[in-house]
Amino acid sequence: MSLDIWMRENPLTYIWLGSYAVAFLIFAIEVAMVRHKRKITLQQVRLLRNVGDDE
């Protein structure tokens, strides 16, 4: 019940915290995950390449 009251008294905070912050957080996490994937893939490729060089 107190959530409803708080929500009506602070609409903009509610919007920012609930919607925009979540959306931007998701975008940030997505970009972080893509960059992490790239890092790991590059590591794997380097590993493969070094193994190939050793042979």
Binding site for another protein (CB under 8 A): 4, 7-8, 11-12, 14-15, 18-20, 22-23, 26-27, 30-31, 34-35, 37-38, 41-42, 44-46, 48-49, 52
Query: Least Å distance between CB 31 and another protein?
Result: 7
Query: Least Å distance between CB 33 and another protein?
Result: 8
Longest dimension (CA), the chain: 70
Cα distance between residue 41 and residue 2, in whole Å: 48
Query: Least Å distance between CB 2 and another protein?
Result: 14
Cα distance between residue 40 and residue 42, in whole Å: 5
